[in-house]
Structure formats: structure tokens, C-alpha cells
Amino acid sequence: MIIEILQQMLNGLAIGSVYTVIALGLTVVFGILGIAHFAHGSVAMSGGYLTFLFGERLAIGFFPAMALAMLVGAVIGLLIERLAYRPVRDAPHINAFIIALGLTMMVEGINLLAFGADQVVIQTPYRGVFNVGGVAVAELRLLVILTACTLIGVVALLISRTKTGKSIRAVAQNRPAAVLMGINVNRVSAIVFSVSSALGAAAGALVGALLAIAPGVGEGLAVKGFAVLILGGLGSIPGAIVGGLVLGVSESLAAGFISSAYKDVIAFMVMIVVLLFRPEGLLGKR
Amino acid sequence: MSLPTVRAIGLAVLVLAALALPLGVTLPYFQHLVILALIWVVLSQGQNLIQGFTGYVSIAQAGFMGIGAYSSTLLSVKLGWPVWLAMAAAPGVTAALAVLAGYPSLRVKGHYFAIVTLAYNMVIFIVLMTWSSLTGGEAGISNVPRPPDIAIGGLVWDLDSRVGYYYLALASAALATLLCALILHSRVGRVLVAIRQNEALIEAAGVQSWRYKLLAFVVSAGLAGLAGALYAHFIGFLNPDAFGVDHSLNAILAVILGGSGTLSGPVVGAFAVVFLPEYLRVAENYRLVIYGFILVTATIFMPRGLVPLVASGLRALAARLRREPG
Amino acid sequence: MNKLARSIAAVSAALACLGAAAADKELLIGVNDSLTGPGAVYGLPQANAVQMAADEINAAGGIKAGGDVYKLRVIANDDKANPTEATNSVRKLIDRDGVKYLLGFCCSGPTSAVASFIERENALMLVGNAAERAITAKGTPNLFRTRPPADFTGAAAGAFVGKRGAKNIAVIGSLDVGFYTQYLEAFEREFAKAGGKIVAKETFGLKDRDMTPQLTKVRALNPDALLVLGYVEPSAFVYRQATELGMTIPRYGFTSGSEEQFLRVATSEQMEGVWDLRPTELTVEALADNAKTYVANYTKRFGTPPSPSSPYAYDQVYVLKQAVERAGSAEDPKKVTAEVRKVTVPKEAVMKYLPVGGTMFDVNGQAYTSNGAFQWQKGKWVYVSDLPSDPALYSEFLRGLRK
């Protein structure tokens, strides 16, 4: 019984860490720029498809391919910020949201055109399975968790220790004041979107290795990402980390012990309940 | 001629054309599409109520349509209710569910609200797919019955035929539009529009905005439920695929494209959303990109939608014509 | 050229075309299949197979019936494994394109939707890979199916697994889908006769990819074997995740997936030893020379080997050919339908059919193939043995289901 619980938890940690990376990409954009960037899931899918393509065509390993995809992701983020969101930065928030929906359709459509409608599974050479006291630890899952931790660590350092990070935090706290202090909001906005989309691309690569990339997966990831945000508190990085892992593990436990059919519903119910009773999230402060 | 007279004549022409449509359009395939478009008019008018008038983007409209479709179907197929009764009950069931859903979710605004409604739609979809003992899951429910014929005097309204069902769909679309017109021109409508423009201000003035928002949400869901019932009994086969999040996005597109906050906008939008995929079948793969692009550019450049744009264009044209003597 | 000359030229050209057309008539075939989405693993190969058969027939001079020569033209529509799309697509094929002969139909959901109204249409419907029993149990007069219903195979599979010594088996599958439940019921009946018991029934959706929660649950029960009932892609994930969880018990499935389809998701090592208990579809050792030719031609034309169940659609075209030849014309689908009832197994058919009562299709419009046990050995599906089954008995059972 204990072994079963531990196994379910470990299974959940892998997908939970992917949720965290997605949520991180969402929370930086939402916390700093106030935009619910719903198209993030589809951008993640692009990153996954690109990782697959680079791996196959350029005959490079999984991690180099992922790094390359992250670079492309950063550029995609720049384009999205400049062309789609900046024009409506000062318009009612609802417009930004509708643009997010439109962007989602566009990116999904472009993915469909460029990569087709079949699912894509990124095969990796990491196929080992370790037996730790009855619990099976798959090498791939371990690597996914480690990669996610690394990415999160890097971004956290970027925001807390660098000068750019300081500007970002200033804009997040008080945009008009930041402008008065001479901070270039356009530059901050561009950087935030690049970082966010690079993270998204990485998440897509990880999902592709763990499960698969396919039309429709991106949407589900985006919604789960928002669920994590709401759970952990919008704009909170520690919240995204805790929220993602909690969501992944509880999904796995619920699927294992209650019902696997309604697994996804759990994420949504959690989100709805938290929004109603603690809208600032478990760790949020606003 | 004065503008109101032109409008009245225009409306009369439209009504006559709508009534006579089956004489001109005889190909079953196009009749099928027109009926679907009219059902979507009902759905889009509902979406417009919560999104266009009140300014709250709901991504749950297709989910509510599903609730209406399954309510009516299960009542008539599994419980043996008369079809007319089942179809009449469907909007009520949906509205009741919307009260439950709306009560908590309307406490939050903007993005949060949209995301919660998205979650609602996903939950509804998953439940419809998974609770197969009730809904038949992906395999669905076949042989959903048409309403029985109605005999008035010597005439028989045959609802088994496409032409007969067309008039039912037409009547429903007209009713939905009328309902929204009544709301728009009432005090409720004015409050809703005020909420969209500045909710904080109106709350400061002492109005309990959540009641009005809930009303809009519930009526919008009720209309979606009606659309669902019409849909299920028309197609004759029901399965959850028509009620996914992507269809809710289509409803949003229909409202934006046609014109948020107008009464004719959703009609134009509904027809566009139903007919475009059929004409773009050749460019099927590009359809999503085109739709998304339209949504993005429309929001940036013409946030008020097609109908107001065309209307203002026509007004400008009329003004110019009047200035230039024959 | 002056106006008169131009008109004369136009009229002559038109007459010439008319003359040429009078020699060959066109027989339109509408293929309704899942070309994208989760059903594409079954639908796309079927659509390809129909096109290939049509081209073969045209190259050999077309169908000669009653003094006319028919050249085949195929219109393929994607139903995206979605019943509403399928209905719209068939509507368009019949109303707009004037199609009278509908082939393909790989997936039960969309196929059932079309089957529910096809009786009212002036058309003939030939169903392929869709396994839901109700499709032929209804006895629709203008519907025929080349693939046997799922429970016909399930019974044979249950007896086989029981004989191999497994006593406790855990089932994981898309158990909300009618035909998998039918397969399982029949399996359970025969398995119980051999003294076996089903210790768990876990579900997953047709589009699910992460089955580790269900597998973890099943692993804790220590079963002798695992039975997986799902489409190719989710089953592949189950096989892969079972090895990632350290499970080494035998794995039995019912997918009709090709090697190439599985290798996109799992490695050959992860698949090693997996069984597929299904109709004796396209595996070269099990079938005759037609199969070898079919595989060679398909691979050359489409660049990838055919899927095991694709011949169900290929054979449909040759069934149609024989029926049209017998009817003497392709203009009246009712006459052609009457001939399909009496058709014998075409000599070009790839699958091995077991005729019931002398004709390829029984009174329900159902054809039967034999069932086989296939095992994944070193990267290939190997035919291991036949699964004994009785089509005549099943045919009576199916007839008895009609209310």
C-alpha cells in the first residue's frame, strides 16, 4: 500500500514539475504585465514540435535540441509581445484576453500546418528503470524533474539577483513609478515575454519526451497552468512551484485511488474552489 | 426617406426573405447549413448578452449548449417525455445550472472569470464524455426524435422535414433576438452596459451589480440550452464533440466578428461561423490561423465588430450621397 | 477567328468530348474515414487502400457491366473520428456530389452515426475496421461489413489466454467504448470456462496518454497477465509505461496496429513479447499471395507498410466490383445491394474470409475472417497460431439480437 502511494506520488512529481514550468511562464507574464497569456500552451507545443524536429533533422541529442527550441521560443515571445499585445497594452484588459484567445487559435493553426495533426513522441535514450525498494524510478522521469528544477532555479536567480531582474520587479510593483524612474517598460515587457516563451518551449519538450505533443494538448496545459497559478497565487514564483507539484501529485493520487476517468476534472474543481474561497491563492499575498 | 422608414422597410424585406427562403434554397445540404446557422444565432445572442453587453467574456457557452442538448435528449429518449416538453425544459435546466455556476464565479472579474468559465466548459465536456452510462460517452445517443407534427386548421407543420425544422429554427432565432432586444432597451440592459463601461462606478452608485450579472449569465446560458435542444433534435445523433472549448471560442468569434453589443451582429457572426468552414474547406488547414488572425486584428483595429463598421460606413456613404446633387 | 468560326469550333469540341465520354462512365466512390485524429491509425491506411484498389481496377480497364465501362473515382472525406463530422460529410457526399457507394468507415463512433440514417438513403454502405457489434446487429439492408464484430474475436482470445495458464488477469482499456466491452464480455466468458478470473478493470480514454496511475494500481494486485483494450496509440503508451514501472508479466492486446505505428511511441525492447489477439489480418505468413502483392504495392506507393486492418477497405472495392458486374450496371444502388448479398469472396481479396451459407456476407450483412494470435518478436509482429472460432454459430447469435 505504502509502495503504491509512493509510486503514484513519484509518477505525479514528474508531470507536476512540467506544470510548474508552464505556470512559471504564465506567472511572470501575468504578475508583471497583467496579461492572461492563454496562448502559452500552444507556444509550448511549438517548442515541443521544434525539439523533435531539431533532434531528427540535425541529429543532435534531446537537451541540445531543447536548448535550440528555447531560443526559437524566445524569439516567438518577442514577436507576440510586439505585434499582438503591445498595441492593446493600454486598452481594457478584456481586449488582451480576446487577443490571447485569437493567438491561441493562430499558434495552434500554425502548428497544425507546420507539423501536421499526428501526435509526436520524442524518443530519448533515457530508458533505464531503477528499483528503489519496490518503487520503480524511471530514468526519464528523474531527468524531467531535474531539468525543471534547473530551469526554475535559473529564472528565479535572474529575477532576484540581476539588474534586469530588478527592473522587472519594479515594473511588477508599480508600473507608473517605474516609468518615472526611467525604466524602459517596452524592454522589460519584451524580456519577460522572451523568458516566458523560452520556458514554455522547454515545457513542451519535456511533455513530448514524457508523453506526446498533439493538437489540443497545449490548451489543456494552459488551463492546468492557470489552475496552478490560482492555486499558488497569481504572480508568485514560490506559489507556482508548490502549486505545480501539488497539482501533479494530487492528480496522480486521485487517478490511482478515486477515478482515473475524472482525473482532469480534479484540477479544475480545485481551481474553482480555491478561486471562490481564497482568491489570492495558497501562497499569494495580493 | 427618413432613417427609421428605411430601417422598417429593410426589416420587412428581411422577414419576407427569411419566410420565403426554402423556395429559393432547395439543396438539402444548404438547408442543413442554414438551420445550423439559425441555431447558432440563438447561441450567439446569448453570448452577446454576457460578453457584448455586460463585458464579461464567458468561455462556457458551448458547454451550456451541451447541457441543454443532453437534457432535452435524455428527457425525451430515456424518460419518454413528449419532445416539445423536453425541448421547453432544456433552457430551464441549463439556466438552473447556470445559477449554481454563476453565483460563485461572478464574484471574480475579467481574466479570472474567463478562466473559471473555461474550466466549467472543460468539466462539462469531461463529464459528458466519461459518464457513459448516462450519456453514451463518445459513442453518443442515436435516434434523437424530431418533435411531432403540428396541425393548425388544414395545414400540417411537418417537423420531420428539413423545411419544417427550418421554420422552427427561424422562430427560435427571432425569439432570441427579440428577447435580447427587450433586455437591451430595458433598465436591466442599461445597467449591464454600465457594468461593462465602468463596474466600479456603478457599484459606488449603490447598484448590486452581481444580480444583474447573474441575470445576464443565466439568460445567456438559457439561450445556449435552447440552442442545444434544437441542435440535438435536428441532427438526430448526439455526442459531446460539438460542445468542446473550441466551440465556445467560435461563439466568442461570432460575437466579435459580427459586432459586440449590437443585435444584428450575432446574426451575422453566427452565419459567418457556420458557413465559413464549409467555404474554406479547401483551405481547411488554414482555417484556424485565419480565425485567430481575424480575432486578433479585429480586436486591435475594429473592436466594435463588423456590423457597426459596415453601419458607420453606410452612414458615411449616405451622408456623402445626400451632399452631392444628382 | 471570326465569331461564326469560333462558335463552330466550340460546338465541335463539345461534341467531341461528348463522344469520348459516352464510352466510359464514372463510378463515384465516397470514402468516409478518420484521416486525422486518434482514428487516423486505422482510417488513413483504409483510404489509401481504397484509392490503390480503384487505380488497379482502372488500369486493368475499369469495371465492365452491361455494355458500359465504369472508371472509378474516389472522393475521400475526413470525419476526424467524430460522429457529427461523419454525418455532415456523408450528407455532402450524397446530396452534393451524388455519391451512391460509401466505403471506408474505420471507427465505430462516426460509423454508428451514419449507420443510424443510411437506411433512408439511396446508397450502399460498406463498413471496414469499425468493430461495434450494433452496426450489423440492426440488420440494415444496405449496410455490409468486412470486419467481424469485436466479441467474435474476444471469445477466441479468452479461450487462448486461458489455455496458456493465466489464472488472474487485470484488464485496462477504453471500457466506455461499446465494442471493447463486448470483446471483454466474450473474453471473460471463455476465460472463466478455463478457470480464469478478472481481478481488475481499469479505464482510460481513447486519447489518453498517461496510464501510470492505473498501471500502478494494477501492479499492486500481482496479476498473472495484463489485457489491454484500446486504440493503437494509447495501448502503445500502456505497454511502454508498464515496462517503466518494472512490470514483466505477459501483455495481451487487441489493436491491429502496425510495427511502424507502435515504434513511434515505444521502443522495440519495450514491446518485446507483447501479444495482439485479433482477426487474422495482414500478416504475410498467415495469408496467401494476394497479401504479399498487396504489401509490396502499398509500400511502394505510399512509402510505408500498410496497417494490418487496411485490407478491409481494399476488399470492399473488389466486392463492389463483383456486385456491379453481376447487376449489369452501377446506376441503381438497390440492384447492386441485392447482388452484394450474393457475392462470393473476390479472388483479389487480401483477407481470409470464412463464408457463411456459401456467400461472403451472412444474413446480417456481416463477413467473417479467422482470428489469430500475433506476438511482437524482435521488432516484428509474428503470427503464432490460429484462434479457433465458429462463424456460423456467431452469425445465428447476431441474428438473434435483432429486436
- Tally of CB atoms within 10 A around A219: 22
Give the C-alpha separation, B195 to B208, whole Å.
10
Given A106, A110, A272, which is nearest B296 (Cβ)? A106
Query: Mind listing the pLDDT tens digit for each residue in B186-197?
Result: 999 999 998 888
Provide φ and ψ at A58, rounded to 5°: -95, 0
**Cross-chain Cβ contact C270/A127 below 8 Å:** yes
- Average pLDDT on A4-13 reads 92
- Average pLDDT on A14-24 reads 94
Alpha carbon of B46 to those of B43, B178, B221, C352: distances in Å?
5, 12, 7, 56
Q: Half-sphere exposure of residue C352, counting CA atoms within 13 Å on the CB side?
A: 16
**∠B135-B141-B147 over CA atoms, to 5°?**
115
A residues 153-212 closer than 8 Å to B (CB): none
Confidence at C26, pLDDT banded by 50, 70, 90: very high
Domain tally, chain B: 1
Chain B residues touching A218 at Cβ < 8 A? none
pLDDT over threshold 50, residue C13: yes
**Cross-chain Cβ contact A275/B112 below 8 Å:** yes
Confidence at B90, pLDDT banded by 50, 70, 90: very high
Provide φ and ψ at A280, rounded to 5°: -85, 0
B82 against C402, higher pLDDT: B82
Give the C-alpha separation, A159 to B239, whole Å.
48
**Residue A158, C-beta contacts closer than 8 angstroms, at least 6 positions apart:** A164, A165, A195
Find the DSSP H helices in A58-138.
62-80, 93-115
- Second-level CATH architecture of C151-285+373-390: 3-Layer(aba) Sandwich (3.40)
Contact yes or no for C223/C170 (Cβ under 8 A): yes
- Tally of CB atoms within 10 A around B12: 10
The mean predicted confidence, pLDDT, of chain C is: 89
Give the C-alpha separation, C115 to C110, whole Å.
9
Which residues is B157 bridged to in the sheet?
B150
DSSP 8-state assignment for residue C307:
P
**Cross-chain Cβ contact C112/B142 below 8 Å:** yes
Assess if residue A233 is contained within a domain.
Answer: no
Chain B residues touching C177 at Cβ < 8 A? 137-139
A196 against C280, higher pLDDT: A196
Query: Mind listing the pLDDT tens digit for each residue in B156-212?
Result: 888 888 888 999 999 999 999 999 999 999 999 999 998 888 888 888 888 888 889
**Residue C378, C-beta contacts closer than 8 angstroms, at least 6 positions apart:** C268, C272
- Average pLDDT on C284-293 reads 74
B14 against C362, higher pLDDT: C362
Contact yes or no for C376/C271 (Cβ under 8 A): yes
Assess if residue B86 is contained within a domain.
Answer: yes
Q: What is the ipTM of this complex?
A: 0.87
pLDDT over threshold 90, residue B137: no
Contact yes or no for A77/A197 (Cβ under 8 A): yes
Instruction: Output the pLDDT for position A285.
Output: 53
pLDDT over threshold 50, residue C19: no
- Which residue do the cell numbers 506520488 mark? A9
Give the C-alpha separation, C245 to C250, whole Å.
14
Which residues is B141 bridged to in the sheet?
B238
**∠B255-B260-B265 over CA atoms, to 5°?**
65
Instruction: Output the pLDDT for position C20.
Output: 45
- Which residue do the cell numbers 449591464 mark? B192
Instruction: Output the pLDDT for position A210.
Output: 93
**Cross-chain Cβ contact C213/A117 below 8 Å:** no
pLDDT over threshold 60, residue C9: no
Contact yes or no for B296/A102 (Cβ under 8 A): yes
pLDDT over threshold 90, residue B324: no
The mean predicted confidence, pLDDT, of chain A is: 88
The set of cell numbers assigned to B126 is: 469531461
Q: Lowest mean pLDDT: which of B100-114, B238-252, C93-107? A: B100-114
- Tally of CB atoms within 10 A around C10: 10
Query: Mind listing the pLDDT tens digit for each residue in B253-265?
Result: 899 888 887 888 8
Assess if residue B68 is contained within a domain.
Answer: yes
Q: Does domain C25-149+289-371 have CATH number 3.40.50.2300?
A: yes
**Cross-chain Cβ contact A230/B288 below 8 Å:** no
- Return the CA Rg of chain B: 20
**Residue A242, C-beta contacts closer than 8 angstroms, at least 6 positions apart:** A232, A282, A283
The shortest C-alpha distance from B46 to chain A (Å) reads 18
Residue type, A227: A
**Is beta strand B150-152 parallel, antiparallel or unpaired with respect to B155-157?**
antiparallel
pLDDT over threshold 70, residue C3: no
Least CA distance to A2: which residue of chain C?
A: C220
Least CA distance to A93: which residue of chain B?
A: B110
A265 against A11, higher pLDDT: A11
Residue B285 touches partner C, C-beta closer than 8 Å? no
Confidence at A286, pLDDT banded by 50, 70, 90: very low
Give the C-alpha separation, C398 to A79, whole Å.
61
Query: Mind listing the pLDDT tens digit for each residue in A250-282?
Result: 889 888 888 777 888 877 887 778 777 776 666
Assess if residue A250 is contained within a domain.
Answer: no
Confidence at C21, pLDDT banded by 50, 70, 90: very low
Chain A residues touching C36 at Cβ < 8 A? 117-118
Give the C-alpha separation, A247 to A241, whole Å.
10
Instruction: Output the pLDDT for position B180.
Output: 94
Chain C residues touching A252 at Cβ < 8 A? 212-213
Contact yes or no for A248/A9 (Cβ under 8 A): no
Assess if residue A3 is contained within a domain.
Answer: no
- Return the CA Rg of chain A: 19
CA C112 to chain centre: 14
- Which residue do the cell numbers 512551484 mark? A241
pLDDT over threshold 80, residue C250: yes
Assess if residue A189 is contained within a domain.
Answer: yes
The shortest C-alpha distance from A214 to chain B (Å) reads 15
Smallest CA-to-CA distance from C172 within C220, C229, C224 is with C229
Given C37, C216, C233, which is nearest A7 (Cβ)? C216
Chain B residues touching C117 at Cβ < 8 A? 236-237
Domain tally, chain A: 1
- Beta strand ranges found along chain B (DSSP E): 150-152, 155-157
Assess if residue A15 is contained within a domain.
Answer: no
Chain A residues touching B107 at Cβ < 8 A? 276
Assess if residue B290 is contained within a domain.
Answer: no
Smallest CA-to-CA distance from C262 within C295, C294, C300, C308 is with C308
Q: Neighbouring chains of B at 3+ CB pairs within 8 Å? A: A, C
CA C141 to chain centre: 20
Provide φ and ψ at B37, rounded to 5°: -65, -40
- Most A CBs within 10 A among C42, C79, C209, C216, hence the mutation to make, goes to C216
Provide φ and ψ at B284, rounded to 5°: -45, -45
Which residues is C229 bridged to in the sheet?
C173
pLDDT over threshold 60, residue C39: yes
pLDDT over threshold 70, residue C1: no
pLDDT over threshold 80, residue C16: no
DSSP 8-state assignment for residue B238:
B
Instruction: Output the pLDDT for position C23.
Output: 64
Given C176, C213, C267, which is nearest A255 (Cβ)? C213
Assess if residue B133 is contained within a domain.
Answer: yes
Confidence at B325, pLDDT banded by 50, 70, 90: low
CA A109 to chain centre: 20
Give the C-alpha separation, B18 to C368, whole Å.
52
- Average pLDDT on C181-206 reads 92
Smallest CA-to-CA distance from C341 within C315, C369, C328, C322 is with C322
**Cross-chain Cβ contact A276/B104 below 8 Å:** yes
**Cross-chain Cβ contact B249/A101 below 8 Å:** yes
pLDDT over threshold 70, residue C301: yes
Smallest CA-to-CA distance from A84 within A222, A213, A190 is with A190
Give the C-alpha separation, C357 to C391, whole Å.
10
pLDDT over threshold 60, residue B105: yes
Chain C residues touching B29 at Cβ < 8 A? 91-92, 95-96
- Which residue do the cell numbers 500478416 mark? C283
Residue C97 touches partner B, C-beta closer than 8 Å? no
Query: Mind listing the pLDDT tens digit for each residue in C206-228?
Result: 888 999 999 999 999 999 999 99
Instruction: Output the pLDDT for position C124.
Output: 96
- Tally of CB atoms within 10 A around C79: 30
**Cross-chain Cβ contact B126/A262 below 8 Å:** yes
- Tally of CB atoms within 10 A around C75: 14
Find the DSSP H helices in C146-224.
150-163, 178-193, 212-219
Contact yes or no for C32/C75 (Cβ under 8 A): no
Smallest CA-to-CA distance from A140 within A154, A120, A122, A119 is with A122
Which residues in A have their CB inside 8 Å of a CB on C? 1, 3-4, 7-8, 11, 15, 117-119, 121, 123, 127, 129, 131, 136, 138, 140-141, 211-212, 216, 252, 255-257, 260-261, 263
The shortest C-alpha distance from B126 to chain C (Å) reads 10
Domain around A209: 20-215
Assess if residue A195 is contained within a domain.
Answer: yes
Query: Mind listing the pLDDT tens digit for each residue in B1-58?
Result: 667 777 788 888 888 888 888 888 877 788 888 999 999 999 999 999 999 888 888 9
Assess if residue B14 is contained within a domain.
Answer: no
Q: Render A233-245 in DSSP notation, one character per residue.
A: -TT-HHHHHHHHH
Alpha carbon of B224 to those of A220, B165, B255, B259, C390: distances in Å?
24, 18, 14, 19, 51
Query: Mind listing the pLDDT tens digit for each residue in A65-103?
Result: 999 999 999 999 999 999 988 888 877 777 788 888 889
**What angle in degrees, to the nearest 10, is found between the helix axes of B28-48 and C83-95?**
140
Assess if residue B265 is contained within a domain.
Answer: no
The set of cell numbers assigned to C144 is: 455490409
Instruction: Output the pLDDT for position B208.
Output: 85
Query: Mind listing the pLDDT tens digit for each residue in B276-316?
Result: 877 766 666 787 888 888 888 888 887 666 667 777 777 88
**Residue C35, C-beta contacts closer than 8 angstroms, at least 6 positions apart:** C43, C44, C47, C76, C78, C80
Residue type, B73: T
Residue C178 touches partner B, C-beta closer than 8 Å? yes
Q: Provide the residue ranges of all domains of chain C, joining segments of one domain with +.
A: 25-149+289-371, 151-285+373-390
**Is beta strand C101-104 parallel, antiparallel or unpaired with respect to C124-127?**
parallel
Contact yes or no for C205/C230 (Cβ under 8 A): no
Confidence at A284, pLDDT banded by 50, 70, 90: low
B322 against C46, higher pLDDT: C46
Given B130, B140, B236, which is nearest C117 (Cβ)? B236
Instruction: Output the pLDDT for position B279.
Output: 73
Q: Lowest mean pLDDT: which of A9-23, B37-51, B224-238, C83-97? A: C83-97
The mean predicted confidence, pLDDT, of chain B is: 86
**Cross-chain Cβ contact C213/A252 below 8 Å:** yes
Assess if residue B44 is contained within a domain.
Answer: yes
Q: Which helix (H) or strand (E) holds A164?
A: helix A163-173
Alpha carbon of B30 to those of B162, C95, C280: distances in Å?
10, 10, 44
Assess if residue A232 is contained within a domain.
Answer: no
Chain C residues touching B142 at Cβ < 8 A? 112-113, 116
